[in-house]
Amino acid sequence: MIALPDQQLVPFLQWALPRLGMRWRGFRKVRRQVKRRIARRLDALGLTELGDYRALLERDAREWAALDACCRVTISRFYRDHGVWRHLTARLPEMARAAGRELRALSLGCASGEEPYTLAILARELDLPLRVVACDVSAELVARARAGRYPSASAGSLPAAWRTHAFAEREAGVLEIAAPLRSAVAFFVADVRRLPLRTRFDVVLCRNLAFTYFDAKAQARVLDALVAVMAPGALLVLGMHEQLDDPRLAPDAGGNLPVCRRRP
């Protein structure tokens, strides 16, 4: 694989990302994955220079979709940002009681399923009626999520009892999600920029995706789409470094937790 020094990669991304509706700021600390994918793409095209790749993008509009697919950061883990999960543990039982029905949750940019399965695990531990719908733009990640097999390190932060109930260890170091949890989550492939949903949800998780990597215009469009699928009073959970200031939303959690609630 060809080497892409930062002196070439950074200016290239600063030029290309805004054309994809994304912003360089989000990628600064996590550009290694993107660098690897772009290097692989150049290899596949028989190119050795980012300058040549830029020229290709300028003359062939179809190549932008391939670059878009390179610009995805797929890092995730079970029980990521535990304060948020503790907040949901406190909030969801009263929401279920008030709703008097099964709660509906949506996980956007669900990677290999770590986030939606964490929610399903939490609901099972609390004996809460909750179904999760989860999507990612990557068909490969959605297939992995459906398979539900993980290296044991990815579940290292889960409370120990939850981990024991949630997984079977079929081979050393590989955890397989338990069948009832698998059936509590429905996965599909979708781009958060074009959400094909009509259902209203009680909890929406959109963490470490739109509000980190997208530019202001794309973020505003995603936020409109999210508000449209949130029931009044629904919770919106963001990534720890993401913030929204929107009159349709009110802060839900005290302290620094990125959880807000849709105003009625």
Q: Does 207 bind ligand SAM (CB under 6 A)?
A: yes
The H-or-E segment that residue 167 falls in is strand 167-171
Nearer to ligand SAM, 68 or 246 (CB): 68
105: three-class secondary structure by DSSP: strand
Q: Using an 8 Å Cβ cutoff, are 20 and 38 in contact?
A: no
Q: Residue 75 interacts with ligand SAM (CB under 6 A)?
A: yes
Sign of CA dihedral 84, 86, 87, 88: positive
209 binds ligand SAM (CB under 6 A): yes
* Residue labelled with tokens 């720890």: 240
Instruction: Measure the CA dihedral 103/104/109/113, to 10°.
Output: 60
* Among 88-96, 123-131, 154-162, 186-194, the segment contacting ligand SAM (CB under 6 A): 186-194
In the shown chain, the binding pattern of residues 219 to 248 toward ligand SAM, with x for contact by CB under 6 A and - for none, equals --------------------x---------
Of 34, 79, 115, 178, the residue at the interface with ligand SAM (CB under 6 A) is 115
Torsion angle of C-alpha atoms 157, 97, 179, 183, degrees rounded to 10 = -110
Residue 118 binds ligand SAM, judged by CB under 6 A: no
Report, in Å, the least distance between residue 82 CB and ligand SAM: 12
Among 4, 137, 158, 253, binds ligand SAM (CB under 6 A): 137
Is 76 a binder of ligand SAM (CB under 6 A)? yes
**Torsional sign, CA 152, 155, 156, 159:** negative
Contact 103, 200 (CB under 8 A): no
- Smallest distance from the beta carbon of 207 to ligand SAM, in angstroms? 4
Number of residues that bind ligand SAM (CB under 6 A): 20
Residues that bind ligand SAM (CB under 6 A): 72-76, 80, 109, 111, 115, 136-138, 141, 191-193, 207-209, 239
